[in-house]
Structure 1
């Protein structure tokens, strides 16, 4: 019977596993904040915002990742500008630019003779084609993500729960929001080669959602989300190897299935614990359960 480690004796599968794991850790850390702040739509929009730059780079022979990064940065900056200077709400600005950039990317790529192939790589990535240079880039992205996350942790927490208090404490919630958008942009750019612009949102959200079922502290959620993301990469690559399916899609689908399984399992565990805790609870006499009379002068 073949071992589960047999596929990873091949060089390109080893690079795919290492690169995918680096992507999973980056997305696990950033994705935790994406879930907490409700920024899923922003992550998806930035992913599609890369398409015009990637398309132009494909047609001109420029580095694809550089073109995508430039396009994603323009997308992020324009969203912030429209929100600050215009009368548009944050989600409206994201929605308009989302459609505009996606459409522009498809228009540009449609002029290429290899439209179908280019579009597939853009949207779904090619984790099996990762090279040593890609792994170095992913390692650098991970280091930057961890350093920035640690440096701005207090500001992120304060801005997430009460921006006014964060401003009072001198934590600059506006800067924290801009840095967080930058981290989302970095995660999307770094993940592009592995899972493409369409599927990166799966690794940003699913592991963090799955981890949130079991943890209450943000650092713990990040660590568990990263671990579940690595597990999704491993499982997705195994499915891709044995079933002959697309690697990036298999990884993203595995991550979503882990989130679904985590949700179901957490409910089962909660129901199993409920009778035991109810039995162990000491009944409170009705006369003692009445609220105490209010005392004036006590806040």
Structure 2
């Protein structure tokens, strides 16, 4: 068992495991709703849209998390402004801001030669450099996300199935959508330290997608996605330790591979069950309608 105990005997590996685990729980809570509502593109755009704020904060000495949060907020407000004033579709607005913010970030980075050494950490994360302050921030983000998900569970669920009915019931689906966008922003900003701006989407989507192969309810999907995400963090760190690969990229790769393994296992389980004499066919459960 030395292959497992040796890496976890080092302090920075333990902090990386705790930080990655907290990020996995946060992304599982938010990622489940992202998957149900079809908001994956927004999560990816936000992760790229943080680059200008992170770059400016790094160059000026401001807290990087603050720069990421400001940049993500500009991205969200910009999407809303384009939808209202330019009358562009949601996907088009996100796509335009996504390209614009990414281009601005690259321009800022390329204008400073001394900044080149930090680009890898920004894009792919540095989970092995997670500090106690980072752990505290992640823990607070997890608490906020869990509380928000519980409080807005009914509006989120109603809006996922039928926006008009949710409005009729007085559940304010538009407000729920704004809150959900805020949760996606929180997850992306809080988790990028562990897995970077480019790979945070993998942790946001992959565990939830793997869990959906086995679960039927939002709560159970979140719980299983959190477990799968934590397992991906542990395996990714072990792979990084023994093979000398980048920790953040290893975690994301393991998480994405877990989707294929989970879906394959679920398909084989269904096939065996269908071929078992006397077995009842599984009851089909309609998936919630994705947001327009």
Q: Tell whether the structures are fold-level matches, with TM greater than 0.5.
A: yes
Map 1:202-213 to 2 at 5 A.
Answer: 202-213=202-213
- Paired residue for 2:287? none
Please tell me whether residue 53 in structure 1 is matched to residue 44 in structure 2: no
Unaligned runs of 5+ in 1: 283-299
- The whole-number CA distance in structure 1 between the counterparts of 2:113 and 2:86 is 39
The Cα of 1:82 is off from its aligned counterpart by: 1.8
CA distance in 1, matches of 2:114, 2:8: 31
Query: Are the equivalent residues in 2 in contact too, given 1:25–1:229 (CA < 8 A)?
Result: yes
* 2:278 maps to which of 267, 272, 280: 280
Cα 1:63–1:167 change in 2 (3 A) is same
What's the offset of the Cα at 1:281? Answer: 7.0
Does residue 12 in structure 1 map to residue 17 in structure 2? no
Q: Does 1:189 align with 2:221?
A: no
Contact 1:46 / 1:98 at 8 angstroms: preserved in 2? yes
Relative distance call for 1:165 and 1:120 in structure 2 (3 A) is same
SS in 2 for 1:4: helix
Partner of 2:103: 103
Deviations 1:212-268 (A, max 9, x none): 000001100000001100000000000000000000000000000111100111111
Between the aligned partners of 2:279 and 2:202, the Cα distance in structure 1 is 41
Q: Aligned pair 1:87/2:87, yes or no?
A: yes
Instruction: Give the deviation of 1:60 after TM superposition.
Output: 1.1
Q: CA deviation at 1:115?
A: 3.6
Q: State how far apart, in whole Å, the 2-side matches of 1:5 and 1:71 are.
A: 40
The match for 1:227 is: 227
Q: Are the structure 2 counterparts of residues 248 and 281 from structure 1 closer, same or farther at C-alpha, using a change threshold of 3 Å?
A: closer
Determine the structure 1 residue equivalent to 2:284.
none
Q: Tell me if the contact between 1:215 and 1:221 (Cα under 8 Å) persists in the aligned partners.
A: yes
2:283 alignment counterpart: none
CA distance in 2, matches of 1:68, 1:281: 52
CA contact (8 A) 1:109 1:118 kept: no
Map of 1:236 onto structure 2: 236
Count of matched residue pairs: 280
Query: Over the residues paired in the alignment, what is the CA RMSD in angstroms?
Result: 1.2
Match of 1:62 in 2: 62
- d(CA) in 2 for partners of 1:22 and 1:280? 43
**Structure 2: unaligned runs, 5 residues or longer:** 281-292
Q: Which residue of 1 aligns with 2:144?
A: 144
Structure with greater Cα Rg: 1
1:66-105: per-residue Cα shift (whole Å, max 9, x none)?
Answer: 1111100111121122223331000000000000000000
Q: Report the equivalent of 1:262.
A: 262
**Deviation at residue 126 of structure 1 after TM alignment:** 0.3
Task: Supply the distance in 2 between the matched residues of 1:113 and 1:203 (Cα, whole angstroms).
Answer: 31
Cα shift at 1:4 = 1.1
Task: Provide the rounded CA distance (Å) in 1 between the counterparts of 2:114 and 2:192.
Answer: 19
